[in-house]
Structures are given as C-alpha cells and as structure tokens.
Amino acid sequence: MGTFITVDIGGTQIRAAAYPENERQALAIRKTSTRAGSEATFDRMVGLIRSVYPADRSVLSITVAAPGPVDPYSGVIAAAPNIPGWMNFPLRDRLEDEFHVPAHLGNDANLAALGEWRFGAGQGHAHLLYLTVSTGIGGGVITDNQLLLGARGLAAELGHVTVLPDGPQCGCGQRGHLEAVAAGPAIAGYVRDQMAQGANSILQGVSDLSARAVSQAARQGDDLAIKALARAGEFIGMALADFLVVFNPSIVIFGGGVSTSGELLFAPLRESLRMHVMEPAYVHDLVITTAALGDDAGLLGALALAHTMQQRVSV
C-alpha cells in the first residue's frame, strides 16, 4: 500500500499530510510557519515532509498547493507573495532531487476546486466553478471532469476580471478588478471610506477594521455594514453572470472567509446575477453553495491532483 504526501503553502503556515492510497483520512498532519528567507523556507518544508514521511510504506508522490502564479507543467513557482525569495523557484525539481519520488505543483484555488469536485460539495458535478473570497479572490474551473489549466497553467484567475473600469487598484496592479472591489480588504475599505465621509456605523472607532468585523456588524443590523456586503455581493454576482455564459457550470462553490457571511452576501449576489445573466437557462437548476472542505481544502485538493496524476501514470 502506497502513500500520497501533500503540502499546502498558506499565508502564515505550511502544512504537510500523509494519506494512505485510496483514503482521505490523513495518517499525519504537521505544520510550520511560512515566513523566512528562501532556502530557510525550502529547508523547513523538507523537514516538515520528512516528519510525515512513512517509515513502513512507499511514497507515490509529493503534491504541493501554492498561492499565486505557478506553472503546473514545469513545476515552477513564478512568485510566492509570502516568500520573498521564491521568484521562479523550481519547487518540483527541488523536491524530486531531495526525495526521489514524483512531485506535482498546482495553484491553491485551482486545487481547492479539484478537491471540492473529488471530495467535497461538488461531487457528481462534471462542470464546476469555484470562487474563494477572502483577502483576495481566487478561482478554479472544472469542465467535463477536467481541471481547466490553460496553455501556460494560468487559467481561472476569476478575481482578476474588470467589473469597474477606473475603479480602485487591485493587488495585481490593474484597476477595477473584482478582487479590488469585493474581496475582504475592499469591503473593509468601503466602510472606512463611507465613515470618513460622515456615514454612521457601530464600526466607528474600530482600529484595524476587517471584513470579519463588517460581517459581524451587519448581523447586528448595522446599515453601513449591510450595504458594504451587499455591494460586494452585487459585484460578485455581476462577474458570476459573465462566468456562467463562458463556462456553463451546474454548481458554483464559494470558499474563503467572506463567503461565511451568509444571506447578507448571497441574497444581493443572486439578485445581481439574475439582473446581469444573458438568459435564465444559465441559472436554471444552478446550485450555489459554500465549500465543504474548510481548512483542509489545500491538502485535499493536492490529494485530488495526486490521484489524477497517479491514474495517468498507471493507464
């Protein structure tokens, strides 16, 4: 019986897990912090992988979910936002040199989509769209039971479509992208701006205002907080109307902290979707739901990729 090892590189921590072949219950999960110099991070990742490495079983592969632009074909991380030294870092080759087993690499939102399709809320759906809304907005698309990667592995950056020309600057440097008007920092920023212009809110005087605080205030009936979430929902619904006519999924799955805001976000989102979508056939029987895998989305998404790659090898 073989073992799959998966690694999830997050903003604050790196986690590694070992899964027996054909199971989704981990034998072991360990973690370490993300931030440090380039070699230090790689060395700690190697140590972390060794700490879950099974003594009595063979390892079939090591699969890594990483944030930001990665090339799943060459296994190179183009840039890791939280690891400054990792520019064009050949992670796959470095891991294969170290462990002498096949290694795979994927974008974390893409792999979360694959994980939800294989193990989570999207099981049984051949056409699936995944959006994660937290500090940024990421996406993944499954079409005909295949993860959409694109020519250079850069497909499905669904947070970086323009919804407000000349709008605020996005984390990627462009203006008016969905992420710049509807991710967590944009929701908090909208509330801050409105309060600076004299709007009333129970959030007045709160330092380090977060989307989570806005969501809590909205649940307590704060008008400005409700308006901020509704505004984000409207922009997401507008973009989703575009995604539906391009990909025609049967399910849309929302992950990330902001999507836990419930109907305060989703009611305006669905209304906006209805307003903007080309025709009702796209929303007929469409399932809109939240992610099922929670904190383990990256690890289980990487496991889903490991299974897919293993099947290719054995065919």
Comparing CA positions, the residue from 94, 47, 46, 64 lying closest to residue 4 is 64
Nearest approach, Cβ of residue 162 and Zn ion (Å): 9
Minimum CB distance to Zn ion smaller for 165 or for 221:
165
Q: What is d(CA 217, CA 226) in angstroms, rounded to the nearest whole number?
A: 8
Nearest approach, Cβ of residue 169 and Zn ion (Å): 9
170 in contact with Zn ion (CB under 5 A): yes
79 in contact with Zn ion (CB under 5 A): no
Site stretch for Zn ion (CB under 5 A), options 6-14, 103-111, 166-174, 245-253: 166-174
Nearest approach, Cβ of residue 138 and Zn ion (Å): 11
- Contacts (Cβ under 8 Å, ≥6 apart) of 239: 158, 161, 163, 178
172 in contact with Zn ion (CB under 5 A): yes
36 in contact with Zn ion (CB under 5 A): no
Nearest approach, Cβ of residue 158 and Zn ion (Å): 11
175 in contact with Zn ion (CB under 5 A): no
Nearest approach, Cβ of residue 24 and Zn ion (Å): 33
118 in contact with Zn ion (CB under 5 A): no
Tokens of residue 48, six digits: 């972390």
Nearest approach, Cβ of residue 170 and Zn ion (Å): 3
Strand intervals (E) in the chain: 2-9, 13-20, 28-33, 58-66, 70-71, 76-79, 87-89, 103-107, 128-133, 137-143, 146-147, 251-255, 287-290
Nearest approach, Cβ of residue 253 and Zn ion (Å): 21
Count Cβ neighbours within 10 Å for each residue of 231-267 and write b for 16 or more, e otherwise.
bbbbbbbbbbbbbbeebebebbbbbbbbbebeebbbe
Minimum CB distance to Zn ion smaller for 51 or for 174:
174
307 in contact with Zn ion (CB under 5 A): no
94 in contact with Zn ion (CB under 5 A): no
Nearest approach, Cβ of residue 109 and Zn ion (Å): 14
139 in contact with Zn ion (CB under 5 A): no
Minimum CB distance to Zn ion smaller for 123 or for 174:
174
- 162 DSSP 8-state letter: B
Please report, for residues 174, 223, 290, the alpha-carbon distance to residue 219 in angstroms, rounded to integers and kept in the order given.
33, 10, 18
Please report, for residues 113, 120, 219, 236, the alpha-carbon distance to residue 294 in angstroms, rounded to integers and kept in the order given.
12, 10, 22, 21
Q: What is d(CA 188, CA 163) in angstroms, rounded to the nearest whole number?
A: 18
Site stretch for Zn ion (CB under 5 A), options 157-165, 214-222, 283-291, 306-314: 157-165
92 in contact with Zn ion (CB under 5 A): no
15, 104, 118, 177: which one contacts Zn ion (CB under 5 A)?
177
Minimum CB distance to Zn ion smaller for 19 or for 243:
243
Tokens of residue 114, six digits: 């694959």
219 in contact with Zn ion (CB under 5 A): no
31, 160, 219, 276: which one contacts Zn ion (CB under 5 A)?
160
At residue 125, the 3 state secondary structure works out as: coil
235 in contact with Zn ion (CB under 5 A): no
Q: What is the signed CA dihedral for 181, 154, 16, 261, rounded to 10 degrees?
A: 20
154 in contact with Zn ion (CB under 5 A): no
Site stretch for Zn ion (CB under 5 A), options 60-68, 126-134, 152-160, 275-283: 152-160
CA triple 111-107-117, angle to 5 deg: 15
Comparing CA positions, the residue from 34, 57, 65 lying closest to residue 138 is 65
Binding site for Zn ion (CB under 5 A): 160, 170, 172, 174, 177
